[in-house]
Amino acid sequence: MTVGLAIVSHSVRIAEGVVELAAQMAPSVAIVAAGGTDDGGLGTSFDRVQAAIAEADSGDGVVVLCDLGSAVLTAQTALDFAEAPERIRIADAPLVEGAVAAAVAAEGGAGLEQVVAAAESGLQGAARPEPTAGEGAVVEPEDGAAVLELELENEHGLHARPAALLVRAASGFEAEVTVNGVDASSLLRVLALGLDRGATARFEATGPQADEAIAAIRELAESGFGEG
């Protein structure tokens, strides 16, 4: 089982589109759309939100993402009437970016609070660091750190699906992994780097499984981050 997601939007098409996008990164996660009013118009529906939360909950909890303020109010009302409100969290996050980041975290087996944190990680610290990747940024590794530096050869660099694969790899070990100085387990921070094909990516890992994490990332890079 994994943490599920409920996507609440004023628009049926927006909710369904976000579900379609996030599902590409996390095929085993239950991601359910709750868009529009009961008759399919613009707005939100308590019944639809309540049903989406119930459908998305496999037992590990549900993270709800909303597009506008009144959608949050509808979600909060649904939470008030939920049988197990302790298993529901409303993330304070941008709808699309937050949903994709949350889905990737859930796919990797993260718990409820970790999935919320992943969704909200774009609100703080996701700005492009200085100096930018591919412009000669050099960071001295910590003592005992495992390091891998390479030039990205896959067609789209670390964008969307390749970045999601990296995040899963970085999150799968007992290690702290960074890429060009940012947390490699945060999809939004990785995407904010803007690492295109030809850019230099420097991975550093510390912790009991640092070497294993770097070896997994090396293997992933050699496969073209899923684009090989």
Which CATH number covers residue 163?
3.30.1340.10
Q: 127 falls in which pLDDT band (50, 70, 90)?
A: very low
Residue 210 lies in a domain: yes
State the pLDDT at residue 228. 67
The residue type found at 189 is: R
Contact by Cβ (8 Å): 187, 163: yes
> Which has the higher per-residue pLDDT, 187 or 199?
199
Average pLDDT of span 162-188? 91
3-state secondary structure 70-84: HHHHHHHHHHHCCCC
How do strand 176-179 and strand 146-151 relate by DSSP bridges?
unpaired
User: Does residue 10 have an active-site annotation?
Assistant: yes
- Per-residue confidence band for 161, with pLDDT thresholds at 50, 70 and 90: confident
Residue range(s) defining the domain that contains residue 162 = 146-222
- Looking up residue 111, the CATH number of its domain turns out to be 3.40.50.510
pLDDT at 36: 96
- pTM, rounded to two decimals: 0.76
**Inside any domain, residue 203:** yes
If 0-12 CB within 10 Å is exposed, 13-18 middle and 19+ buried, where does residue 91 land? buried
Q: What pLDDT score does 133 carry?
A: 39
Say whether pLDDT at 149 is over 70: yes
Domain count, the chain: 2
Residue of 10, 89, 168, 189 marked catalytic: 10
Domain end, chosen from 123, 155, 183, is at: 123
Return the percentage of the chain with pLDDT > 90, whole number: 74
- What distances in angstroms separate CA 67 from CA 3, 17, 19, 35, one per listed residue? 20, 13, 13, 10
Pick the range with the lowest mean pLDDT from 74-78, 83-87, 128-132: 128-132
